Each structure stands twice: as C-alpha cells, then as structure tokens.
Amino acid sequence: MIIFDAICVSMPYVAAFAIAYWAFQSPKRGVYLDSLLVVLGLGIGTGMGSCSFFLWRSLHYPTEGLKLGEVLFFFLCTAVFVVLMRHKLSQRIPNGLPAQDGTIVRPASALLCLGFLVVLISALVGFVLLSYNRPHGSSDAYVIWNLHARFLSRGGADWKNYLSPLLLWTHPDYPLLVPATIARFWTYLGTETVLVPGLLGGFFTFATVALLIFSLSFLQLRNQGFLAAIFLLASSPFINLGAYQMADVPIGFFILSTTIILTLKDYGALQNNRLTVLAGITCALAAWTKNEGLLFVLAVVISRITLYLTKRDIRHYFRETLFFSFGFIPIIAVLLFFKIKYSPPNDLMTAQTLSFAVPKLLDISRYVLVGRWFLREITHFGNGVTVVFFVYLVLAGVELDERKIQPLISTGVLLVTMLCGHFFIYIVSPFDLNWHLSSSSQRLLIQLWPTLLFLAFLITRPLFDRESERGARFLST
Amino acid sequence: MQEETKDQSLGKLRGLAPLNGVVGYVSEQQSDMVQENYDLFLAEYALCPLILVKGAKRPFVIADCGRSADGICFFDTDYAVFKSFDHGLRIYRQKQK
C-alpha cells in the first residue's frame, strides 16, 4: 500500500520530468542542463499535483479516487510526451551548446566555491532554526496558506467553508498552488505534519538558488552562478520568507523559471517551440501561486511583444504565443475554474471604480510616498545586500554580445513592467497606503530579486578570467 | 511557539459533536483588537473547517480564557456552559427560550 501511495504521489513529478525532458531534448545536454531539468521538473510536478488535487477536491471524490485518477491522468501525460520524444522529425540539433566540459580549477574559483559553500551552510542552518522556532510559519502562512490547506485537507464537503464571506480576512480569493500541494501531501500521508509546509518552503527556497546556479553556469560561467547564488542566499528576507512558508518564494521560483526558459529559447540553445510550451506552463503556475502571477502573465506578454517589435518580427511573436498557450492554457483553465466557480472577488479590485481610482491617480503625494518606499526598500533590502550588489555591478561592468541583447530586452522589460504594475497598484490601493506598503513591498521585491540577479549576472563581465572556466560557456559566435 | 501551544489546546475541540457550521468565538483580549484578532486567527487555524466569528450571536460559543485569572471571560445569561476543558477553554450553548 505504501508503495502504491508513493507511486501515486510521485506521478505528477514523473509527468513533469517527461515534459521537461521533452522540452530539453538534445543530443548533448551536459550536467548543467540536466540539473536544470531536474529542478524544473520538481517545481512543475509540484504545481501539476496541486492542480489535480484541487480538481479532485472540487469534484468531492474519495481519496481512493484521487490516487487512481492521478495515476491514470499523469500516466497518460507521461505516455504522450514519451511518444513525442521518439518523434525524430521534431528533433533539431542545437546551435549553441556549451563547449566540452574541461574546467580548469584556479585558486580564485576554488575560493569562490568555498565561499558559496559557507554561505549555503549558513543559510541552511538559518532556515532550519527559523522553521524549528515557527513550525506553522509566519502569521500570513497560518492565516492564509496553511489555513486554506487545512480546509482542503480536513474539510471533506466543507472544504468550501473558507470561501465564506465570514472569513474574508483569510483572503479566500488567493490561488491554491501552495495550499493544495500541502493538502495533497497531508492526504497521502494521512496526517497534518508541519514538516510538509516546512519542506515545501525549503524546496522552493533552495530550488531557486539551484536554478540560478545551473542556468548561469550553462549560459554564462559557473563562477557567475555561484556569485548570484551567494547574493541570493545572503539576502536574509529571502531565507526568512522561505522558512516562514510564504508563497512569495514559490512565485519567485516560477518567475525565474519562466525567465530562464525564455532566455534559453532566445539563446537558441535548444528546440525553441518546446521551450516555449514549457515557459507557458511555468508562467501559468506563477499565476496559480499568487494573484501577482496575473501581473506577471501581463508582463510576459508585454516583454515578448517589445522584444519582437525591436526585432521587427511580430509574425514570430504570434507563432511563439501559439506554442506558449499549449503549456499555458491547461493550468490557467484550472485557475479560471477556481476564480469563476469558487473565489470571491479580490479586495484590491472590488473597490476600483473610475470615481475611486482617478482622484488617487491624480494625487502627487501618493506617488512621492510610494516612490520613497520603493527606494527605501531597494537600498535597505537584505541589510544592504543590494548596495553591495550595485557596487559589484558598477565595478564589474557590462559585457554584452549579440546573444545577450534579446534576454536583456525581454527580462528587462518584464522586470520594469512588474515594478510599474506594483507601483500603480499601490497608487490606487483602497487601503491605508502606509500600512499596505509596510506589509507587502518587501515581499514583492523578493518575488523579483532572483530574476534580477539572473539578468545581472548574465550580462555583467565575469569576475575571473574566462580562461579559468572554459567548460561552462557557450562557443563564441 | 505560541501557535503550536494554541493549536494543540484548541485542537481538542475539533470534531466535537454539536459543533459545526458557524460558531461564536470570544477571547479574553476583547479590549485589544489586534490581540483579539490574533487569537481568532489561531483558533480558526486550529478548528477549521468550523467557521468562527467574533462574539456571541450563535447557538454555540467557544470561550478562550486561558490568560484570565479565573479562567472565565464570557458572561451572558442567555448561555450556559456546555463543556469545559483545560486552559480556560469552554463551550457555551445558547439556552432554549
């Protein structure tokens, strides 16, 4: 029985690995892309499992039904992608694979690696201590995410109780990736152990670090990956929010995943259309994690349109959108089902009418206040880690080649759109602005911080001589 | 660790036969709205899928009076104690009229 349960619980992950393997299919992937594939597979599998659990819960089927349903559905998914992988016509030899892995370890590289290990161990110890002290997470975790998970897990037919107007303080309109994942594991385990939300927080925290290392090692240099990871691990709010089981770290993971996949596509590193399908999945999973993910979807659309407009190639944008939607639609359909059938309206949006928003939009003092908060958050973020980061950027300088222009435009526009979106949400906020900013602005920056690090270390000049790390970079064009 | 303690003590009330749907909740922190809300959130977390609402306008009311000196913080002549627990926890039932 335990073996059967283990098979059932791992089925979404098997399907996710099949999809990621299909998207990353290449004769010479190398260790970094293989590792990236594993991390992405785990993240996507978690998201797909949460979708299937929510659908099962909304259909009121018994637990046995969940197990059989998941096995059958994800087995079919896996089978489809295995068949697709065997389709030789769809294979294309990549045009930008890394050179052979002939890394020469120099003292400076070894020192950086050692520094990374020290920071990683410190972050792990910090994470464990914080989790041990607050096993139920921060107040937002047990008022929102873990509470929703308990309703989904315990509720039976009453799981919808949390959507009651009497419980609006628990934000019942929030998407369900985190709660449904926790509830799914609780249901399979038959117990509500606090280990599940804790481990989920740990997974998304350190998987984000892993994404940074493997992607930058493949696209740039391993040292750049380690440096970016050191900056991320040294950002105490990132580790804190992960340990406190907040959904800002998982959404940051999916934002970074989408950015990395689209960058791989823009580099022409792998089969383009397959990566676009995968990007559609991770983008939709960001929206299935938090409402900010909907802004992210809009930002992706704007950034890709901008990119193709600068290339004067809008025809290819529509082609990309088609493949993107293959991955995007199934997940976003689950979100829409939740939003339309169950979710009450969002508290930020219900208040928005023209007569309410226009005076706020014309109030200069609100712009000044929000601008000051943003500046303060950026300069004080992580006890000054951003100051060190900007000093590093200035000292290192930018190294742009033809390949990096597209990711720079796409990711740059994406980050600016996200920041502008958040800025204007604050401007028209129906809440006390000081309270709203103090309770959420840092968390919003944490969602974007891994992606900003990825972009920065992709375009900055490497810290060490390229000759010291020949193996991890692309063949020069 | 306060969450853990509260979760365990309130958890005893979960699944008790007469409690279902919407239940009233009273804590001894009625003068401090922030603390009162905090208590309510923790109680909801412990007792879901019950729906807890502040105050005593429901057939059943949970009184969470662990920090009161005498363990009593709910006084309403329309209600009678239905069941008592450790740590000042009581369930009150509205009297039949």
pLDDT at A120 over 90: yes
Q: What pLDDT digit, counting tens, does each position of B4-63 carry?
A: 888 888 888 887 767 778 999 988 777 778 888 888 999 999 998 899 998 878 889 998
Are B44 and A158 within 8 A, CB to CB? no
Per the CB < 8 A criterion, the answer to whether B3 and B80 are in contact is no
Q: Do A158 and B49 touch (CB under 8 A)?
A: yes
CA distances to A26, A96, A152, B15, B52 from B49, in Å: 49, 54, 9, 10, 9
Task: Name the β-bridge partners of A268.
Answer: none
Identify whether the C-beta of residue B43 lies closer than 8 Å to the C-beta of residue B6.
yes
Helix (H, G, I), strand (E, B) or coil at A477: coil
CB contact under 8 A, A161 and B49: yes
Closest residue in chain B to residue A147, using alpha carbons only: B45
Nearest CB among B1, B42, B48 relative to A162 is that of: B48
Residues of chain B with Cβ-Cβ distance to A143 below 8 Å are 41, 45
pLDDT by residue (tens digit) across A42-75? Answer: 999 999 999 999 999 888 777 667 777 787 888 8
Chain A CB contacts of B42 under 8 Å are 142
Shortest distance between the Cα of A130 and any Cα of chain B, in A, equals 11
Which residue in B2, B3, B5, B22 has the most chain A C-beta atoms within 10 A of its own C-beta, making it the best mutation to test that interface? B3
Question: Are A150 and B42 a contacting pair at CB < 8 A?
Answer: no
Pairwise CB contact (< 8 Å): A147 & B50: no
According to DSSP, residue B92 is labeled E
Chain B CB contacts of A149 under 8 Å are: none
Q: Residue B90: beta bridge partners?
A: B63, B84
Mean pLDDT of A313-341: 93
DSSP per residue over A347-383, as a string? Answer: HHHHT--HHHHHHHHT-HHHHHHHHHHHHHHHHHGGG
Tens digits of residue pLDDT in A429-453: 989 999 999 999 899 999 999 999 9
Could you report the per-residue pLDDT of A403-420, keeping only the tens digit for each? Answer: 889 999 999 999 999 999
Contacts of A159 in chain B (CB under 8 A): 49
CA angle B33, B38, B44 (to 5 degrees): 120
Mutation test of the interface with chain B: which of A145, A167, A193, A194, choosing the one with the most B Cβ atoms within 10 A? A167
Going by C-alpha positions, the residue among A142, A236, A254 that lies closest to residue A197 is A142
Q: How close, in Å, is residue B39 to chain A by CA atoms?
A: 11
Averaged confidence pLDDT in chain A: 88
Do the chains contact at A166 and B51, CB–CB below 8 Å?
yes
Pick from A144, A148, A161, A170 the residue to mutate for testing the B interface (most B CBs within 10 Å). Answer: A161
Q: Is B7 on the interface with A (CB under 8 A)?
A: yes
pLDDT in tens, A164-174: 999 999 999 99
Q: What is the dihedral of CA A438, A444, A446, A449, to 10 degrees?
A: -130
Confidence (pLDDT) at A5: 83
Residue A20 has pLDDT above 90, yes or no: yes
**What's the rounded Cα separation, in Å, for the pair A148 and A144?**
6
Burial A192-221 (b: 16+ CB within 10 A, else e): bebebbbebbbbbbbbbbbbbbbbbbbbbb
Q: What pLDDT is recorded for position A101?
A: 45
CA angle centred on A70, ends A65 and A72, rounded to 5°: 95
* Amino acid (1-letter code) at residue B57: K
Q: Are A287 and A335 in contact (CB under 8 A)?
A: yes
Indicate whether A474 pLDDT > 50.
no
The neighbour count for residue A118, using CB atoms within 10 Å, is: 12
| Region of residue A281 (phi > 0: left; psi between -120 and 50: alpha; otherwise: beta) | alpha
Cβ of A136 within 8 Å of Cβ of B44? The answer is: no
User: Above pLDDT 90, what percent of chain A?
Assistant: 61
Give A271-326 pLDDT, tens digit per residue. 688 999 999 999 999 999 999 999 999 999 999 999 999 988 888 889 999 999 99
Alpha carbon distance A197, B62 (integer Å)? 28
Interface test with B, best of A154, A163, A195 (most B CBs within 10 A): A154
Nearest-by-Cβ selection for B49 from A134, A142, A154: A154
The residue with tokens 């309270």 is A435
Ramachandran quadrant class, A461 (left: phi over 0; alpha: psi -120 to 50; beta: rest): beta
To the nearest whole percent, how much of chain A has pLDDT over 70? 91
Select from B4, B22, B48 the Cβ nearest to the Cβ of A147. B48
Whole-angstrom Cα distance, residue A292 to residue A418?
9
Confidence of residue A102 (pLDDT cuts 50, 70, 90): very low
Q: Do A169 and B50 touch (CB under 8 A)?
A: no
B49 to A142: CB separation less than 8 angstroms, yes or no:
no
pLDDT digits (tens, 9 = 90+) for A122-153: 999 999 999 999 999 998 999 999 999 999 99
* Residue B62 bridge partners (DSSP): B25, B91
Q: Which tokens belong to A282?
A: 């991770």
Which residue in B has a C-alpha nearest to residue A165's C-alpha? B51
Contact by Cβ (8 Å): A256, A249 = no
Strand partners, B63: B26, B90
Confidence of residue A379 (pLDDT cuts 50, 70, 90): confident
pLDDT at A327 over 60: yes
B51 reaches A (C-beta below 8 A) = yes
At A134, the amino acid letter reads R
pTM here is 0.91
Burial class of residue A296 in the structure, from the number of CB atoms within 10 Å of its CB (0-12 exposed, 13-18 middle, 19+ buried): buried
| Rounded average pLDDT over A185-200 | 94
The CA-CA-CA angle for residues A255, A261, A263, to 5°, reads: 100
Closest CA to A196 of A241, A139, A144, A153: A153
Nearest CA distance, B64 vs chain A (angstrom): 18
User: Between β-strands B79-84 and B60-64, what pairing exists: parallel, antiparallel or unpaired?
Assistant: unpaired
> pLDDT tens across A231-246, in order?
999 999 999 999 999 9
Do A24 and A218 meet the contact criterion of CB atoms below 8 Å apart?
no
Asked if B34 reaches chain A (Cβ–Cβ under 8 Å), the answer is no
pLDDT in tens, A202-239: 999 999 999 999 999 999 888 899 999 999 999 999 99
